[in-house]
Copies of this chain bind each other. A is one copy, B any other.
Amino acid sequence: MENASKWSRKDLIGIEELTREEIEIILEMAKSFKATIERSRKKVPTLRGKTIVNLFLEPSTRTRVAFEVAAKRLSADVVTVQGSSSSQVKGETLKDTALNIQALSADMIIMRHSAAGAPKYLSKYIDVPIINAGDGAHEHPTQALLDAFTLIERFGSLEGKRITILGDILFSRVARSNIWALTKLGAEVTLAGPSTLVPERFAKMGVHVCHDLKTSIKDADAVMLLRIQRERQTTTHFPSLGEYTALFGLNKKRLEWLKEDALIMHPGPINRGVEIDSDLADSGRSVILDQVTNGIAVRMGVMYLCMGVSENSLAEPLPL
Protein backbone atom coordinates (compact mmCIF):
# COMPACT_ATOMS: atom_id res chain seq x y z
CA MET A 1 0.00 0.00 0.00
CA GLU A 2 3.00 2.30 0.33
CA ASN A 3 2.76 2.94 -3.39
CA ALA A 4 -0.74 4.38 -3.16
CA SER A 5 0.78 7.75 -2.30
CA LYS A 6 2.43 7.81 -5.72
CA TRP A 7 -0.95 7.87 -7.46
CA SER A 8 -1.69 11.37 -8.68
CA ARG A 9 -4.69 11.16 -11.01
CA LYS A 10 -8.11 12.42 -10.03
CA ASP A 11 -9.77 10.57 -12.93
CA LEU A 12 -9.47 7.23 -14.64
CA ILE A 13 -10.23 7.90 -18.29
CA GLY A 14 -8.24 5.25 -20.12
CA ILE A 15 -5.31 2.88 -19.95
CA GLU A 16 -3.54 4.59 -22.84
CA GLU A 17 -2.34 7.46 -20.66
CA LEU A 18 -1.25 5.31 -17.69
CA THR A 19 2.34 4.30 -17.08
CA ARG A 20 3.18 0.74 -16.23
CA GLU A 21 3.85 1.85 -12.67
CA GLU A 22 0.42 3.44 -12.37
CA ILE A 23 -1.24 0.25 -13.58
CA GLU A 24 0.71 -1.70 -11.03
CA ILE A 25 -0.33 0.65 -8.22
CA ILE A 26 -3.98 -0.04 -9.03
CA LEU A 27 -3.42 -3.79 -9.20
CA GLU A 28 -1.56 -3.79 -5.89
CA MET A 29 -4.38 -1.80 -4.27
CA ALA A 30 -6.94 -4.22 -5.70
CA LYS A 31 -5.01 -7.16 -4.26
CA SER A 32 -5.27 -5.70 -0.77
CA PHE A 33 -8.99 -5.13 -1.13
CA LYS A 34 -9.55 -8.63 -2.47
CA ALA A 35 -7.76 -10.17 0.47
CA THR A 36 -9.70 -8.15 3.01
CA ILE A 37 -13.08 -8.77 1.42
CA GLU A 38 -12.45 -12.51 1.17
CA ARG A 39 -11.28 -12.79 4.73
CA SER A 40 -14.24 -11.13 6.40
CA ARG A 41 -17.00 -10.72 3.80
CA LYS A 42 -17.36 -7.29 5.34
CA LYS A 43 -17.47 -3.76 4.12
CA VAL A 44 -14.51 -1.48 4.66
CA PRO A 45 -15.25 2.00 5.98
CA THR A 46 -12.96 3.73 3.46
CA LEU A 47 -15.51 5.89 1.65
CA ARG A 48 -18.09 6.23 4.41
CA GLY A 49 -20.11 9.41 3.94
CA LYS A 50 -19.17 9.78 0.27
CA THR A 51 -21.84 9.93 -2.43
CA ILE A 52 -20.96 8.24 -5.71
CA VAL A 53 -23.17 8.83 -8.75
CA ASN A 54 -23.45 6.04 -11.28
CA LEU A 55 -24.19 8.02 -14.45
CA PHE A 56 -25.04 5.44 -17.09
CA LEU A 57 -26.16 7.22 -20.23
CA GLU A 58 -25.77 4.02 -22.22
CA PRO A 59 -27.60 0.98 -20.87
CA SER A 60 -25.59 -1.59 -18.90
CA THR A 61 -26.51 -3.90 -16.09
CA ARG A 62 -23.31 -5.79 -15.55
CA THR A 63 -20.87 -2.91 -15.20
CA ARG A 64 -23.32 -0.67 -13.35
CA VAL A 65 -23.99 -3.36 -10.76
CA ALA A 66 -20.27 -4.13 -10.38
CA PHE A 67 -19.48 -0.48 -9.64
CA GLU A 68 -22.46 -0.27 -7.28
CA VAL A 69 -21.34 -3.32 -5.31
CA ALA A 70 -17.73 -2.08 -5.20
CA ALA A 71 -18.82 1.36 -3.95
CA LYS A 72 -21.05 -0.15 -1.28
CA ARG A 73 -18.25 -2.47 -0.11
CA LEU A 74 -16.29 0.76 0.45
CA SER A 75 -19.28 2.07 2.50
CA ALA A 76 -20.10 4.84 0.01
CA ASP A 77 -23.66 5.83 -0.86
CA VAL A 78 -24.56 5.18 -4.47
CA VAL A 79 -27.10 7.08 -6.52
CA THR A 80 -27.92 5.74 -9.96
CA VAL A 81 -28.85 7.96 -12.89
CA GLN A 82 -29.67 5.94 -15.96
CA GLY A 83 -29.98 6.50 -19.65
CA SER A 84 -33.27 7.57 -20.96
CA SER A 85 -34.47 8.68 -17.53
CA SER A 86 -31.90 11.44 -17.60
CA SER A 87 -32.43 15.09 -18.30
CA GLN A 88 -30.56 14.71 -21.55
CA VAL A 89 -33.74 13.79 -23.34
CA LYS A 90 -34.99 17.23 -22.32
CA GLY A 91 -32.21 18.84 -24.34
CA GLU A 92 -29.69 19.48 -21.57
CA THR A 93 -26.04 19.29 -22.65
CA LEU A 94 -23.80 16.59 -21.23
CA LYS A 95 -21.66 19.20 -19.54
CA ASP A 96 -24.68 20.70 -17.80
CA THR A 97 -25.84 17.27 -16.66
CA ALA A 98 -22.43 16.61 -15.15
CA LEU A 99 -22.12 20.05 -13.54
CA ASN A 100 -25.53 19.53 -11.99
CA ILE A 101 -24.58 16.15 -10.61
CA GLN A 102 -21.45 17.63 -9.13
CA ALA A 103 -23.50 20.46 -7.63
CA LEU A 104 -25.66 17.87 -5.87
CA SER A 105 -22.56 17.39 -3.71
CA ALA A 106 -21.56 14.16 -5.41
CA ASP A 107 -18.05 13.07 -4.50
CA MET A 108 -17.36 10.96 -7.60
CA ILE A 109 -18.99 10.21 -10.95
CA ILE A 110 -18.84 6.79 -12.60
CA MET A 111 -19.74 7.34 -16.21
CA ARG A 112 -20.74 5.23 -19.17
CA HIS A 113 -21.51 6.98 -22.41
CA SER A 114 -22.01 5.94 -26.00
CA ALA A 115 -19.66 8.66 -27.27
CA ALA A 116 -15.90 8.14 -27.21
CA GLY A 117 -14.25 10.96 -25.30
CA ALA A 118 -17.22 11.97 -23.16
CA PRO A 119 -15.53 11.25 -19.78
CA LYS A 120 -12.33 12.97 -20.87
CA TYR A 121 -14.26 16.03 -21.99
CA LEU A 122 -16.10 16.25 -18.70
CA SER A 123 -13.06 15.72 -16.53
CA LYS A 124 -11.88 19.19 -17.54
CA TYR A 125 -14.95 20.85 -16.09
CA ILE A 126 -15.66 18.66 -13.11
CA ASP A 127 -13.64 18.85 -9.90
CA VAL A 128 -14.63 15.49 -8.52
CA PRO A 129 -13.18 12.25 -9.90
CA ILE A 130 -14.64 10.80 -13.08
CA ILE A 131 -14.20 7.09 -13.68
CA ASN A 132 -14.76 5.90 -17.23
CA ALA A 133 -17.05 2.86 -17.23
CA GLY A 134 -16.92 2.56 -21.02
CA ASP A 135 -17.09 5.31 -23.65
CA GLY A 136 -18.09 4.36 -27.18
CA ALA A 137 -15.40 2.44 -29.00
CA HIS A 138 -12.67 4.20 -27.03
CA GLU A 139 -11.81 2.57 -23.68
CA HIS A 140 -13.20 0.48 -20.83
CA PRO A 141 -10.28 0.78 -18.45
CA THR A 142 -11.62 -1.12 -15.42
CA GLN A 143 -12.36 -4.12 -17.64
CA ALA A 144 -8.75 -4.22 -18.83
CA LEU A 145 -7.50 -3.80 -15.27
CA LEU A 146 -9.57 -6.69 -13.99
CA ASP A 147 -8.38 -8.81 -16.90
CA ALA A 148 -4.77 -7.99 -16.10
CA PHE A 149 -5.41 -8.66 -12.41
CA THR A 150 -6.85 -12.09 -13.23
CA LEU A 151 -3.93 -13.03 -15.45
CA ILE A 152 -1.32 -11.90 -12.93
CA GLU A 153 -3.15 -13.79 -10.19
CA ARG A 154 -2.50 -16.95 -12.21
CA PHE A 155 0.82 -16.20 -13.85
CA GLY A 156 2.57 -14.02 -11.26
CA SER A 157 3.66 -11.66 -14.03
CA LEU A 158 2.68 -10.84 -17.60
CA GLU A 159 6.26 -10.38 -18.72
CA GLY A 160 6.72 -12.37 -21.93
CA LYS A 161 3.31 -14.02 -21.73
CA ARG A 162 1.43 -14.52 -25.00
CA ILE A 163 -2.17 -13.32 -24.92
CA THR A 164 -4.56 -13.68 -27.85
CA ILE A 165 -7.62 -11.45 -28.10
CA LEU A 166 -10.17 -13.12 -30.33
CA GLY A 167 -13.30 -11.79 -32.00
CA ASP A 168 -15.04 -8.55 -32.83
CA ILE A 169 -12.14 -6.20 -32.18
CA LEU A 170 -12.86 -3.40 -34.63
CA PHE A 171 -15.13 -1.30 -32.42
CA SER A 172 -14.29 -2.95 -29.10
CA ARG A 173 -13.34 -0.66 -26.22
CA VAL A 174 -12.52 -3.78 -24.20
CA ALA A 175 -9.94 -4.84 -26.81
CA ARG A 176 -8.48 -1.36 -27.03
CA SER A 177 -8.02 -1.00 -23.26
CA ASN A 178 -6.60 -4.50 -23.02
CA ILE A 179 -4.08 -3.89 -25.76
CA TRP A 180 -2.75 -0.91 -23.82
CA ALA A 181 -2.74 -2.70 -20.48
CA LEU A 182 -1.25 -6.00 -21.61
CA THR A 183 1.52 -4.53 -23.73
CA LYS A 184 2.49 -2.06 -21.02
CA LEU A 185 2.73 -4.94 -18.56
CA GLY A 186 5.10 -6.80 -20.88
CA ALA A 187 2.84 -9.28 -22.62
CA GLU A 188 2.96 -10.15 -26.30
CA VAL A 189 -0.50 -9.60 -27.73
CA THR A 190 -2.09 -11.18 -30.80
CA LEU A 191 -5.41 -10.01 -32.22
CA ALA A 192 -7.33 -12.70 -34.07
CA GLY A 193 -10.55 -12.93 -36.04
CA PRO A 194 -11.90 -12.35 -39.53
CA SER A 195 -10.13 -9.56 -41.41
CA THR A 196 -13.28 -7.43 -41.47
CA LEU A 197 -13.27 -7.35 -37.67
CA VAL A 198 -9.50 -7.30 -37.14
CA PRO A 199 -7.92 -4.90 -39.65
CA GLU A 200 -4.19 -4.95 -40.24
CA ARG A 201 -3.83 -1.38 -39.03
CA PHE A 202 -4.09 -2.55 -35.41
CA ALA A 203 -0.50 -3.77 -35.83
CA LYS A 204 0.57 -0.15 -35.30
CA MET A 205 -0.42 -0.55 -31.65
CA GLY A 206 2.45 -3.01 -31.20
CA VAL A 207 0.49 -6.22 -31.51
CA HIS A 208 0.31 -9.12 -33.96
CA VAL A 209 -2.70 -9.46 -36.24
CA CYS A 210 -3.74 -12.93 -37.33
CA HIS A 211 -6.71 -14.19 -39.33
CA ASP A 212 -6.26 -17.89 -38.75
CA LEU A 213 -7.64 -19.31 -35.52
CA LYS A 214 -5.22 -22.19 -35.08
CA THR A 215 -2.13 -20.11 -35.71
CA SER A 216 -3.35 -17.39 -33.39
CA ILE A 217 -4.03 -19.57 -30.36
CA LYS A 218 -1.54 -22.43 -30.47
CA ASP A 219 1.16 -20.65 -28.48
CA ALA A 220 -1.13 -18.53 -26.33
CA ASP A 221 -0.89 -18.55 -22.55
CA ALA A 222 -4.40 -17.11 -22.46
CA VAL A 223 -7.17 -16.55 -24.99
CA MET A 224 -9.39 -13.60 -24.32
CA LEU A 225 -12.67 -13.94 -26.17
CA LEU A 226 -14.80 -10.93 -26.98
CA ARG A 227 -18.54 -11.02 -27.06
CA ILE A 228 -20.03 -11.41 -30.51
CA GLN A 229 -22.70 -8.78 -30.66
CA ARG A 230 -25.66 -10.31 -32.40
CA GLU A 231 -27.11 -6.87 -32.95
CA ARG A 232 -24.22 -5.98 -35.28
CA GLN A 233 -24.92 -8.79 -37.72
CA THR A 234 -26.64 -6.51 -40.15
CA THR A 235 -23.55 -4.44 -40.79
CA THR A 236 -21.29 -5.13 -43.67
CA HIS A 237 -18.34 -5.88 -41.39
CA PHE A 238 -19.92 -8.82 -39.80
CA PRO A 239 -20.25 -12.35 -41.16
CA SER A 240 -23.23 -14.51 -40.23
CA LEU A 241 -23.17 -15.99 -36.73
CA GLY A 242 -22.94 -19.46 -38.18
CA GLU A 243 -20.00 -18.52 -40.33
CA TYR A 244 -18.23 -16.86 -37.40
CA THR A 245 -18.75 -19.86 -35.15
CA ALA A 246 -17.55 -22.23 -37.87
CA LEU A 247 -14.31 -20.31 -38.37
CA PHE A 248 -13.56 -18.75 -34.97
CA GLY A 249 -15.82 -20.31 -32.34
CA LEU A 250 -13.93 -22.04 -29.54
CA ASN A 251 -15.14 -25.60 -29.16
CA LYS A 252 -14.00 -28.90 -27.69
CA LYS A 253 -12.17 -30.01 -30.82
CA ARG A 254 -10.23 -26.80 -31.08
CA LEU A 255 -9.31 -27.06 -27.43
CA GLU A 256 -6.58 -29.45 -28.60
CA TRP A 257 -4.96 -26.60 -30.45
CA LEU A 258 -4.36 -24.80 -27.17
CA LYS A 259 -1.48 -25.34 -24.79
CA GLU A 260 -2.49 -27.52 -21.89
CA ASP A 261 -2.46 -24.77 -19.30
CA ALA A 262 -3.79 -21.92 -21.43
CA LEU A 263 -6.48 -19.85 -19.77
CA ILE A 264 -9.81 -18.85 -21.34
CA MET A 265 -11.24 -15.41 -20.58
CA HIS A 266 -14.41 -13.56 -21.57
CA PRO A 267 -15.78 -10.20 -20.40
CA GLY A 268 -19.36 -11.55 -20.46
CA PRO A 269 -22.16 -11.95 -21.12
CA ILE A 270 -21.17 -15.06 -23.05
CA ASN A 271 -23.08 -16.48 -26.01
CA ARG A 272 -22.82 -20.21 -25.45
CA GLY A 273 -22.55 -21.99 -28.78
CA VAL A 274 -21.51 -18.86 -30.64
CA GLU A 275 -18.07 -17.63 -29.66
CA ILE A 276 -17.55 -20.40 -27.08
CA ASP A 277 -18.97 -23.83 -26.37
CA SER A 278 -20.25 -24.77 -22.94
CA ASP A 279 -17.55 -27.45 -22.50
CA LEU A 280 -14.92 -24.75 -22.55
CA ALA A 281 -16.82 -22.01 -20.72
CA ASP A 282 -17.37 -24.33 -17.78
CA SER A 283 -13.97 -26.04 -17.83
CA GLY A 284 -11.19 -25.59 -15.32
CA ARG A 285 -9.28 -23.43 -17.82
CA SER A 286 -12.01 -20.81 -17.78
CA VAL A 287 -11.39 -17.88 -15.43
CA ILE A 288 -14.56 -16.06 -16.52
CA LEU A 289 -16.12 -15.92 -13.06
CA ASP A 290 -12.78 -14.97 -11.48
CA GLN A 291 -12.81 -11.97 -13.79
CA VAL A 292 -16.19 -10.91 -12.36
CA THR A 293 -15.05 -11.28 -8.76
CA ASN A 294 -11.78 -9.47 -9.43
CA GLY A 295 -13.75 -6.65 -11.02
CA ILE A 296 -15.06 -5.72 -7.57
CA ALA A 297 -11.58 -5.49 -6.03
CA VAL A 298 -10.15 -3.59 -9.00
CA ARG A 299 -12.96 -1.03 -8.94
CA MET A 300 -12.56 -0.60 -5.19
CA GLY A 301 -8.90 0.11 -5.80
CA VAL A 302 -9.57 2.65 -8.54
CA MET A 303 -12.21 4.47 -6.48
CA TYR A 304 -9.97 4.57 -3.44
CA LEU A 305 -6.99 5.96 -5.34
CA CYS A 306 -8.89 8.61 -7.31
CA MET A 307 -10.89 9.74 -4.29
CA GLY A 308 -7.66 10.04 -2.35
CA VAL A 309 -6.25 12.49 -4.88
CA SER A 310 -9.50 14.44 -4.91
CA GLU A 311 -9.74 14.65 -1.12
CA ASN A 312 -6.10 14.54 -0.21
CA SER A 313 -7.20 13.25 3.16
CA LEU A 314 -8.35 9.64 3.03
CA ALA A 315 -7.49 7.39 5.90
CA GLU A 316 -5.79 4.07 5.39
CA PRO A 317 -8.02 2.02 3.13
CA LEU A 318 -8.30 -1.06 5.26
CA PRO A 319 -9.18 -1.71 8.87
CA LEU A 320 -6.24 -3.19 10.71
Contact flags (1/0) for A31-44 with B, using CB distance below 8 Å?
A: 00000010011110
In the complex, whether A234 has a CB less than 8 A from a CB of chain B is no
Contact of A292 with B72 in the complex, beta carbons under 8 Å: no
Q: How many residues of A contact B (CB 8 A)?
A: 54
In the complex, whether A116 has a CB less than 8 A from a CB of chain B is no
Distance (whole angstroms) from the CB of A191 to the closest CB of chain B:
23
Contact of B269 with A100 in the complex, beta carbons under 8 Å: yes
Assembly stoichiometry (copies): 3
List the one stretch of A59-67, A244-252, A254-262 in contact with chain B.
Answer: A59-67
Contact of B87 with A292 in the complex, beta carbons under 8 Å: no
Contact of A65 with B104 in the complex, beta carbons under 8 Å: yes
In the complex, whether A106 has a CB less than 8 A from a CB of chain B is yes
List the one stretch of A90-98, A178-186, A192-200 in contact with chain B.
Answer: A90-98
List the one stretch of A13-21, A73-81, A160-168, A217-225 in contact with chain B.
Answer: A73-81
Given A100-B268, A103-B292, 14 extra CB contacts under 8 A: A41-B50, A41-B105, A43-B48, A51-B72, A51-B73, A61-B85, A62-B100, A69-B104, A90-B269, A96-B268, A96-B270, A100-B292, A103-B290, A105-B296
8 interchain residue pairs of minimum CB distance: A92-B269, A103-B292, A42-B49, A87-B269, A103-B289, A72-B77, A43-B49, A103-B293
